[in-house]
Amino acid sequence: MTCFHNFTAPVWQIFAGNLLLFICSLFYLVWWVIGFKPDASGKTAGGSAGVIYLSGAIIAGIAAIILLAGGINTLSKDAKAVPVWLILLGGTVLFAVMILVTTAVYHRPMTSELIIVHIWAVLELCALAVLYGTGRFGPGRTVILLTLVVLTVS
């Protein structure tokens, strides 16, 4: 395919990492449906199938983070945009505020979904920054993808 002809190794890592995040989300959604859908007696099911799907989500998610981090790290050396460390710092501060608001203000427990979505969003912002900063994405594509990340997290 012509859209992949000029991918470098770091760009392939970012692409593969995003594909694995998609697979992770599919495994996670199937696990959630299996694990929390009540059966006829009103009890939730899941069993070994739930363990398999959750394990698939965890494995795909960790592999995605490793691939994305590798590609982002390599490209960040040449990127002329917002530094990745600044995005990571902002993400960390925002996560701390989110935990505080969730637990102290709304008195809700911290859930895995909060951290999963937060890590995903920060990784995507870092990937967008390096892809834009290295000239792989123009301003239009970057704004569209940034908007999609923000809308997905909201």
Q: What DSSP line would sit under 57-120, residue for residue?
A: HHHHHHHHHHHHHHHHHHHHTT--SS-HHHHHHHHHHHHHHHHHIIIIIS-----HHHHHHHHH
Within a 10 A sphere around the Cβ of 109, how many other Cβ atoms? 8
**Cβ atoms of residues 55 and 31 within 8 Å:** no
Q: Are residues 57 and 91 in the same domain?
A: no
Quote the pLDDT of residue 46. 65
Q: Are residues 73 and 119 in the same domain?
A: no
Q: Which amino acid appears at position 148 of this protein?
A: L
Q: Are residues 117 and 68 in the same domain?
A: no
Q: Are residues 107 and 51 in the same domain?
A: no
Which of 31, 47, 77 lies at the terminal end of a domain, its last residue? 77
Which of 77, 99, 119 lies at the terminal end of a domain, its last residue? 77
Q: Are residues 54 and 8 in the same domain?
A: yes
Quote the pLDDT of residue 112. 81
Q: Are residues 65 and 92 in the same domain?
A: no
pLDDT digits (tens, 9 = 90+) for 25-61: 999 999 888 887 766 555 555 678 888 999 999 999 9
Which residue range forms the structural domain that includes residue 19? 1-77
* Predicted confidence (pLDDT) at residue 17 exceeds the cutoff of 80: yes
Q: Are residues 56 and 101 in the same domain?
A: no
pTM of the predicted model, to two decimals? Answer: 0.84
Q: Are residues 10 and 67 in the same domain?
A: yes
pLDDT digits (tens, 9 = 90+) for 60-108: 999 999 999 999 999 999 888 889 999 999 999 999 999 999 899 999 9
**What are the helix and strand counts (H, E) for the chain?**
5, 0
Q: Are residues 63 and 95 in the same domain?
A: no
Q: Are residues 63 and 94 in the same domain?
A: no
Q: Are residues 98 and 41 in the same domain?
A: no
pLDDT digits (tens, 9 = 90+) for 109-148: 888 888 888 999 999 999 999 999 999 889 999 999 999 9
For the chain, what is the domain count? 2
Quote the pLDDT of residue 38. 63
Distance, in Å, from the CA atom of 28 to the CA atom of 19, rounded to the nearest integer, reads 14
